[in-house]
Amino acid sequence: MENLLLVNAPADGTVKGRIELPSSKSISNRLLIIRALSQYDFPIHELSEAEDTKALLLALESEGLTHDINAGHTGTAMRFLTAYLATRPGSFYLTGSERMKQRPIAPLVNALQHLGADISYSEKPGFPPLKIKGKKLKGGNINVEAGISSQFISSLLLIAPTLDDGLEITLGGIPVSSEYIKMTLGLMSQFGIESRWERNVISVLPGSYQPRKITVERDWSGASYFYELLLLSEKGSLFFPGLSAKSLQGDKILWEWFGHLGITTKFTHEGAFVEKTKGHPEFVSFSFLGNPDLAQAMAMAFAGSGIQGIFRGLETLPHKETDRIKALQNELGKLGYSLAAREEGLWQLRKMAWPQLPGRVTFKTYNDHRMAMACAPLSLKLGQVAIQDPEVVVKSFPNFWENLKQIGFKLIYGAR
């Protein structure tokens, strides 16, 4: 039997209410590594409850007890732990899910090996699992290909202050998800670490992370699916407590992007009030190079709204939890849309024809939390959608479905 969730939109197509967004898992995961590398413990308030963060926290807590560590589906844990464990005394076997074993890690391993790390591949060269013999690393200068994953860069930056000579990273190519690198440096600065990013070179001086109390920001990536809801709604307004324009998260660009689509955001000291105020253009162009996690919500929002456009910067999507390009192409096709490569770095989102829809459209999630959350809002246009394997949202947003219920959506679990 398929594990399905039927999502039924409010009958009047109106979206209104209060959305309690989760804490940012991206910030939480970086803070966990910073705390582990610090000489002192310090409290992290409102730590993310996402599966990704729980996996990393469990790995860090078990580091001294077991040398076999499983990162599961969590790319952040795999990349961050690779650099972290390379600096810790002991021998470690770091593995993950079958999908994780298909996600490349060679650029990070090569950089660490250049610094003197003892890391080898247990199965397929260039991919997890890894055998790591941790030791003290001196630091110095390295070159890293920056066009595959910003997490390679961030994992190196996080250990950089603990290296005797600090670290100087020369980035090869155009950095992808550069906003996440900026987030990493911003958090490190809050804990007393000096760094400099000039052109394609990032330098971090040796030093010690200074303990301080910190509260994790609300997650801007999680807000994207509710901005999508507002775009697809007849009318609506939502309040997001704690959501700030001063966030370290690059995905805060959402409020500017959706401002061009008729969705107005007003910030107060309590959070963000977001409202649908006008119509939207029929054609738009966005670059996701710095913010690839927003691509699925935007693509589905456009398809549901009849918008066509140009998407740039999708190069990293095939290397995520699933091949997100193929996943989007498959699910957009059910809505009469295509996503096709036209030239290097440019994809065209085009309306083919609105298909003769069955009684309901069933969307696959590909073991990808963002596919599930991006497809659910389409119930506002279709009346009802079915989501396969809806529990995948626990990876980043465990209370996503509960939030939908609280603003008037009806959910039926276990449907056939």
* Closest C-alpha to 51, from 33, 74, 68, 21: 74
Is 293 annotated as catalytic? yes
Residue 121 Cα distances to 65, 99, 208, angstroms: 23, 16, 31
For residue 174 the two structure tokens come to: 């155009």
Q: How far apart are CA 222 and CA 393, in angstroms?
A: 10
188-204 in b/e burial notation, b at 16+ Cβ within 10 A?
Answer: beebebebebeeeebbb
Largest CA distance in the chain: 64
Beta-carbon neighbour count of residue 133 at 10 Å?
A: 15
Task: For 112-183, list the strands marked E by DSSP.
Answer: 118-121, 130-134, 140-145, 167-172
Degrees to nearest 5, angle at CA 37 with 190 and 31: 45
Q: Which of 52, 219, 251, 293 is catalytic?
A: 293
Residue 330 Cα distances to 232, 304, 333, 336, 383, angstroms: 20, 15, 5, 10, 21
Coil, helix or strand at residue 305 = helix
**Per-residue DSSP letter, 364:** P
Do the beta carbons of residue 88 and residue 134 sit within 8 Å?
yes
Pairing assessment for the beta strands 44-45 and 214-215 based on DSSP bridges: parallel
Q: How far apart are CA 139 and CA 164, in angstroms?
A: 6
Do the beta carbons of residue 370 and residue 293 sit within 8 Å?
yes
Do the beta carbons of residue 86 and residue 119 sit within 8 Å?
yes
* Closest C-alpha to 171, from 196, 199, 198, 200: 200
Q: What amino acid positions are annotated as catalytic residues?
A: 293
